[in-house]
Structure 1
Amino acid sequence: MTQKDEPLPTAKDAGRARLMDELRTASRRYMASYALFNQAVADHLRLHPTDLQCLNLLGLEEEPVTTGRVAELTGLTTGSATRLVDRLERSGHVTRERDTKDRRRVLVRTVPERMAEFGALWQRLNGAYTAMFDGYDDDEIALLIGYMRRTTELSAAQMERLRGGDLAL
């Protein structure tokens, strides 16, 4: 097909292109804003930002986990996950204990009092977010939930690609 034979872009195509450009810009600002917010919360708690998010993820787990699971949750190598758990243990946020069912395994358990402090801070911060979300109807909230779940899955896949060297610069 020659250039002459290609269909001309429609107003709908141009509108979509503008929206996609705006989405890319807004997405970059959103991700930067969240990363900087995460840094501010971590600084407030005197934690490394990765440690903060690890605590966040550990709080979502139903049971204590192995360091291998910490590596899976964070996408870190097992060596880096071990160092992360070491830092969290030194800061009093987690403890290590032998698995009563398999003495060879060591489990990482969050310290309830420290997690309560962590949760209280999130509660104070979440009030403003809850107020913001009050402006959305149920269908919009469902759309946001779907977006966040899909973004989480895509981010995990992209991190794996980056760590596996699948993306050349």
Structure 2
Amino acid sequence: MEPEVLERFTLYMREQSALTVMFHTKVAEQMGLSATDEKCLDLAMRAEGPLTAGRIAELSGLSTGAVTGVIDRLERAGFVRRVRDPHDRRKVLVQVTPGDLGKFEQLFGKAQASLVEVLSHFDDDELQVIERYLQLQIETFRRRVIDT
């Protein structure tokens, strides 16, 4: 790969990353959370059901001790609750409580509108390439950064 191509894409990724962090910091602030707490809540919301603290640690790359603090804060704020696993009463699961989450949907609605605006500039073939790039980027980044 040409050095100038790598440099150009590195700058794009750094700018995208900075904007993403700033967006989630703003969202978290409006929710009364830290950015880390908000992202862990997002992980729990996207899961197919309640998660263990260990699973949140795996998905986030945080230590189990740090995740315990995150869960405590999310529980105090009313976004999650701890429940017993119905299949193994010794396990505690973290369950999202949908109560007040609806009032924050407008924050994410703006982000989704931006995504729609950007994607509207590409045809189906281009979208397939972008999707493949994003999937590979996520898989590689998770393997090299989160799963290490």
When normalised by structure 1's length, the TM-score is 0.78
Question: Equivalent residue for 2:57?
Answer: 71
Is the 1:94–1:110 contact (alpha carbons within 8 Å) kept by the matching residues of 2?
yes
What one-letter code is carried by the residue in structure 2 that aligns with 1:125? A
Counterpart AA for 1:72: E
Whether 2:43 is the aligned partner of 1:57: answer yes
RMSD of equivalent CA atoms: 1.9
Matched residue type, 1:85: I
Using the TM superposition, give the Cα deviation of residue 22 of structure 1 relative to its aligned residue in structure 2, in angstroms: 1.2
CA distance in structure 1 between the aligned counterparts of 2:106 and 2:48, rounded to whole angstroms: 19
Higher relative contact order (CA 8 A, sep 6+): 2
CA distance in 2, matches of 1:37, 1:124: 11
Deviation at 1:82, TM superposition (A): 0.9
| Runs of 4+ that moved beyond 4 A | none
Counterpart residue type for residue 100 of structure 2:
R
Q: Are 1:59 and 1:115, in contact at CA under 8 Å, matched by a contact in 2?
A: no
Q: Corresponding residue for 1:81?
A: 67
Which residue of the other structure, out of 27, 33, 45, is the alignment partner of 2:19? 33
1:1-169 paired onto structure 2 within 5 Å: 16-160=2-146
How far residue 68 of structure 1 moved from its aligned partner, in angstroms, is 0.8
Per the normalisation by structure 2, the TM-score is 0.88
**Mind listing any 5+ residue stretches in structure 1 that lack a counterpart?**
1-12, 165-169
Q: Is the 8 A contact 2:60 2:146 kept in 1?
A: no
How big is each residue's C-alpha offset from its partner over 1:15-36, in whole Å with a ceiling of 9 and x where there is no partner? x433222112112111112112
CA distance in 2, matches of 1:118, 1:145: 27
* Aligned twin of 1:3: none
- How many pairs align? 148
Q: What residue ranges of structure 2 are gaps of 5+ in the alignment?
A: none
